[in-house]
Structures are given as structure tokens and as C-alpha cells.
Chain A
Amino acid sequence: MADRIVANGLWPRFRRQAAAMTALMVLALLILLVICGPLIWRIDPHFIDSDPVRMIGLRNQAPSLAHPLGTDQLGRDMLARLMLGGQVSLAVGLVAMLVALGIGTGIGLLAGYFRRLDGWLMRLTDIFLSLPVLPLMLVMMFLFRDALGRWIGPGAGSFALIVLAIGLTGWMPAARLVRAEVLSLRERDFIRAARAIGAPAPRILRHHILPNVWAPVLVAASLGISSAILTESMLSFLGFGFPPDMPTWGRLLHEGVGAMRSHPDRLVWPGLALTLTLLCVTYIGEGLRRALDPRQH
């Protein structure tokens, strides 16, 4: 009942914020373009002309009707690659965020509910917060990419590894937010009542606490998705991310840097898409945080 009221109140309060609403619409448009675009623009993003003479002719073309954003250094259509790259980037962000959120929520629930675990789990969180994340991730990519690639294929292997690496090093904010919420929930009357009638801890956690912590989880999700997309682009940019035949926005930027002086637009489009997405997610997260903050009313 209580969460129903908050849930009903969230949307009107979110809708009143112009910046967050604009961001939501722009992001929806971007996602629509990236997902439905390839259904309309049907050029194969991997197509490289097998005839070398024609291939050389197709390389580095300026924007035209046939290729609205031009072609890259191998004659592949940039628009098609940009859309495929967006799909991969967004998928990485979403799945990595879910992994981080899953770990973080679990640890936050345990730390908040069980006093005995709290100290240890929070110390673990502190240790993870001082890990050198990027160096460790590069090392993980280097060590496990080939082994995992042999096992489930290079593309899927990279995807699983990147998602896991980001999730394993990014769960701490979610854990802290959820723990704080659980700490305040566990002293409330309905939890005490559940405990008093003898409900076991797992049941209380699942049925009474978990449905009530979605507010911080939502905020952590928006934080997590932007940092995951950003981290993936950084890995790809350094050449430690996806294999060359699986473009992401970061990977396209990595390729664009080589041609930066002669074709700056190769840097502009993926950069613009990446920045716009991250900016929208940030503003949506901010809007959610405000809509959920009781002090704002």
C-alpha cells in the first residue's frame, strides 16, 4: 500500500521537471533510432567490398545520399556502424548495470538487516571503493579475454567479461544506498510486526524490505548505467574492449582518432551519440533523485 502511493506520486513529480522530461524524451528517441534504425537503413555494417579496387574507391567517402555519414577506412557505412555500435554500447550499459545492481542490492540488504554482517560488509565495500578500477579492468581483459573467447566466441566472451568486470567493480554505490534505506526500514513498525509473528529473515527481506528499497535502487541504476557505458567506451578506446568486428561507440571513437586530422566527423558522430546518451541518463537520474527526495516538497 505504502509503495503504491509513492509509486503513484513519483511520475507526476518527475513529469514536472522540464530538464529530466526532455532528457527522457531525447533518450527514448535515441534508443528508438538505434534499435529500429537498422530495420530501415539496411546496409550491412560489416560489409567490406571483396574487390580490392572497388574497396579502395569506397574508403573514407564524404557524406552522400548513399552514405549519409560517409564511410570508414575500410569502406563500411558509418551510419549503419553507428547504430550497431549504439546497440552494443547500450546493451553493455544495461546488463553491466543490472549485474552491479544485483550484487550491490544483495550486499546492501544483508549489511542493513544483519547487524553482525554490517561491519564486515561495509569494510569490504570500503576496500572495493579504493581499488584502482581501470588498471584492474585492463589486466582482467588481458588475462581472461582469450580464454573466454575460445570458450563462448570472441564477441560473446568480450561482452561477458566487460559486463562482469564493470559489475564486479561498480556495485559499491548501490550497496551503500540500499543499506542506508534498509537501516531505516528495519526499525519501522511493519517490519517489527513481521518479526514478531515469527517470519524468517529471508521472507522478511524478500517480501517486506525488498519491495520498499526500489527508490535508492532506481537512483543507483541511473548512476550505474552511465558509468558502465563510460567505462566500456574507455576500455574500447584503449583497445582493450570489443574485437574490431563488434563496434561500440567507444570502439568507433578509437578508430576515429586515427583519422582525426583528415576526417574529424568520424570522431564527432560517435562522440555526440555517447555524450548525448550519458547526459540524458545523468539528467534522468537527477530528476528521479529529486522526485524521490521528500525534502523537495
Chain B
Amino acid sequence: MLSFLLRRLLFAIPTLALISALVFFMIDLAPGSPMSEIPLTVPPEVRAQILAAMGADQPAPLRYFLWVRQIVWSEPLHGLDAALGTSLAGDAPRMISWQSKVPVFGLIAERLPQTLTVIGGGYLLGVLLALPLGMRAAARRGGIFDHVTTFLSALVIAMPGFLIAQVLILVFAVKLGWFPSVYDTNLQVRDGAGLYRMVMQMALPVIVLALFNCAEIGRYTRAAVLEQLGQDYTRTARAKGLTDGRVLRVHVLRNAMAPVVTIVALGLPAIFGGAMVIEQIFRINGIGAALIGAIQVGDLPVIQTITFLYAVLIVLSNLLADLLYAVLDPRVVHG
């Protein structure tokens, strides 16, 4: 198990290295980059000074190396210092946002929890709904329940997430007034009432993401359960006289879950993209909204770091999916 995990981790490192290089150089060398957009009225010697002050006169590979060192070494040390009160980082410079002049990682630390709450909540709710629905649809294949859920999931997958979000806002926030449509970023959870308001304002964004996840996962659950229902071991279990429910829950579920986990992991980039749009619609101050804001003003350090952070999150979730797969299907570990 440990060596399997280590092998997976080792594959994640070159993946991240390649993605980081792609992100950095694409943004750095692009024609529309803010680095190249200092107005022509600025005299050449002032222009050179500006570039030198930003460190932009150094060759790109060196700047890439410094950026990577900042992310994997200096910034984590600063983080440790802030958490433990030590001074490991010494006077290593911090990565500063061009727009707000605060450390990029401080900005991210403020915003990451909201993003993770939306994505995590959407996943949890989606899985909790999808498993029973998918299993039931598979158990009664061709029935009314099966047809209705299949159509609904196709509809949810075909509808763009932002459209679902707008429809829900129109119905539940504007017409019925049950939930707020705009996220209150100043809300602090101190007591029961604060927690209640937090849950209410997270409800709509989480539901939108959960609907999408539920449709996707439910579809694959149905297909995987159908596949397992045709296997010999299922027939054996039935022949022993076990009830349908027991066969499904005890025998089929675990075997059906392994392929579902793989498919879900493949859909992760789409989920992170969807969460970004949802943050923008509900005005949640997560990292997706921060990235869109940074792109609009050309804040390179924030753009590069958040884009890379998305890649890290996706690779980490992939690792988690691999781990889960190994637990569900030990054959992959023991070859």
C-alpha cells in the first residue's frame, strides 16, 4: 500500500512541474502580458527602471526558478512562522500581489476556505444523493423511476451550471425569498444565528454544484451497478437466498464503486471550473472569483499562483481518488 502511494506521489511531482512551467511561461511570454504593456509615452530609461523594479529584466528561466522557489520553499516557511511564531524564513521576500500589495498567499489563505466549502459541500451532497438514486435506477432498469432519473440527469448535465444557478436564484431567492442570492463576505460565525445565516447563504451555490455532481455520479453509478448485476457472484448471492437490498448494498456496491471513483476523478477539472463560475455568480470571495478579478487587472503573480493552485488541488484530488480506488479494489495495489 505504502509503495503504491509513493509511486503515485512520485508521478504527481513531474506532472506539477510541467503544469507549473506551462502556466508560468504561457503567461509570461504572451503578447498581451502586462509586462509588455507599459505605455509608449514612458521614456525608455524609466521603462527599464520599472522592469528592473519588478525583476522583469531578468531572463525568464531564472524568474521561473525564483517563482517556484517562492512557492515550494519561502512561502511555506512564512506560513510556518505565522502559525508557530518562529522565524525560519528570515528575511526571504514574500510574493506580493501587484494590485493589492499584500502577500499573494495571505490573499489565498483568506479565500481558499470558501472555495473548498462550496466544492466539498457540493461533492458530499451530490454523492449522498447519487448513490441511492443510481442504485435504485439500476435495480429497476427500464422502469418509470429509471427513465425519469436518466432524463433528469441528462438535462442537468446538458444545462450549463450558470443557467441552473440563475434559474434557482430567480425561483428561490427572487420569487420565494428563501435564500439570499448574494454571499455576505463580512459574515462571521460566532453563534447559532451566524451559523444559520452561513448555511443559508452557502445553500444555493452548494445545491447547484451538488445537482451537477449528483447527475454525473448517479449516471455512472447506474451503469456500474448494472454491469455488476450481470456477474456470476451476484447470481450466487441471489441463489443463496439473500434479499435484493442486501445483494445491492453488501455485494454490488463496493465493486461498482471502483469504476465510479475513476470517472469522478476525471471530471474534477470541470468541477473546479464550475465552482469558479458559481463563485462569480453568487459573489463568493473564493479563489475563483479572485482569479477572475486578477485577470481583469492583469495581476500576474496572483494569476500565475492561483492557476497553479488549481492544478495542485486537482492533482491532490486525483491522488485521493487513487487511494480510494486502492481501498475499494485491492487488486491494483498487489498487481
On A, residues with C-beta under 8 Å from B are 126-127, 129-136, 138-140, 142-147, 226, 230, 233-234, 237-238, 240, 250, 253, 257, 260-261, 264, 267, 271, 274-275, 278-279, 281-283
Contact (A143, B32) CB under 8 Å given A132-B311, A233-B160, A234-B277 = yes
Contact (A279, B158) CB under 8 Å given A131-B19, A142-B295 = yes
Shortest CB–CB separation between residue A217 and chain B, in angstroms?
19
* Interface residues of A, dominant DSSP: helix
Q: Are A237 and B162 in contact (CB under 8 A)?
A: yes
Top 5 closest pairs, chain A to chain B, by CB: A134-B273, A132-B310, A143-B30, A278-B158, A147-B31
For residue B266, which residues in chain A have a CB less than 8 angstroms away from its CB? Answer: 129
For residue A142, which residues in chain B have a CB less than 8 angstroms away from its CB? Answer: 32, 295-296, 298
Contact of B9 with A by CB under 8 A: no
For residue A282, which residues in chain B have a CB less than 8 angstroms away from its CB? Answer: 154, 157-158
Complex Cα–Cα for A219 and B253 (A) = 28
Binary CB contact string for chain B from 272 to 292 against chain A (1 if under 8 A, 0 otherwise): 111011001000000010011
Closest chain B residue to A138, Cβ basis = B295
Shortest CB–CB separation between residue A131 and chain B, in angstroms?
6
For residue B280, which residues in chain A have a CB less than 8 angstroms away from its CB? Answer: 238
Shortest CB–CB separation between residue B28 and chain A, in angstroms?
10
Contact of B176 with A by CB under 8 A: no
Contact (A271, B19) CB under 8 Å given A138-B295, A279-B154 = no
Which residues 289-335 of B sit at the A interface, judged by CB distance below 8 A?
291-292, 295-296, 298, 303, 306-307, 310-311, 313-315, 318
Complex Cα–Cα for A250 and B163 (A) = 10
Q: Are A283 and B32 in contact (CB under 8 A)?
A: no
Complex Cα–Cα for A144 and B307 (A) = 17
Contact (A274, B155) CB under 8 Å given A143-B33, A145-B32, A238-B280 = no
Contact of B106 with A by CB under 8 A: no
Among B154, B166, B170, B315, the residue within 8 A (CB) of A283 is B154
Which residues 10-56 of B sit at the A interface, judged by CB distance below 8 A?
15, 18-19, 22-23, 26-27, 30-33
Contact of B159 with A by CB under 8 A: yes
Complex Cα–Cα for A139 and B22 (A) = 12
Complex Cα–Cα for A86 and B217 (A) = 30
Contact of B84 with A by CB under 8 A: no
Complex Cα–Cα for A151 and B264 (A) = 41
Q: Are A274 and B160 in contact (CB under 8 A)?
A: yes
Q: Are B30 and A134 in contact (CB under 8 A)?
A: no
For residue A230, which residues in chain B have a CB less than 8 angstroms away from its CB? Answer: 160
Closest chain A residue to B162, Cβ basis = A237
Closest chain A residue to B307, Cβ basis = A135
Contact (A134, B272) CB under 8 Å given A140-B26, A237-B162, A282-B158 = yes
Shortest CB–CB separation between residue B250 and chain A, in angstroms?
27
Binary CB contact string for chain B from 256 to 278 against chain A (1 if under 8 A, 0 otherwise): 00000000001011101110110
Shortest CB–CB separation between residue A178 and chain B, in angstroms?
17
Q: Are B166 and A144 in contact (CB under 8 A)?
A: no
For residue B291, which residues in chain A have a CB less than 8 angstroms away from its CB? Answer: 135, 138
Contact of B174 with A by CB under 8 A: yes
Q: Are B32 and A264 in contact (CB under 8 A)?
A: no
Shortest CB–CB separation between residue A75 and chain B, in angstroms?
23
Given contact pairs A127-B18, A274-B159, enumerate 7 new A-B contacts (beta carbons under 8 Å).
A132-B314, A134-B274, A147-B32, A234-B277, A271-B167, A274-B160, A279-B154
Closest chain A residue to B315, Cβ basis = A130
Complex Cα–Cα for A133 and B277 (A) = 13
Complex Cα–Cα for A132 and B15 (A) = 13
Q: Are A130 and B31 in contact (CB under 8 A)?
A: no
Q: List 28 A-B contacts (CB under 8 A).
A: A127-B15, A130-B15, A130-B315, A130-B318, A135-B272, A135-B273, A135-B291, A139-B23, A140-B26, A142-B32, A143-B26, A143-B27, A143-B33, A144-B31, A146-B32, A233-B160, A238-B280, A240-B295, A253-B166, A257-B166, A260-B170, A264-B170, A267-B170, A271-B159, A275-B158, A275-B159, A278-B158, A279-B154
Among A130, A140, A240, A283, the residue within 8 A (CB) of B314 is A130
For residue B30, which residues in chain A have a CB less than 8 angstroms away from its CB? Answer: 143-144, 147
Among A129, A133, A135, A253, the residue within 8 A (CB) of B162 is A253
Q: Are A133 and B32 in contact (CB under 8 A)?
A: no
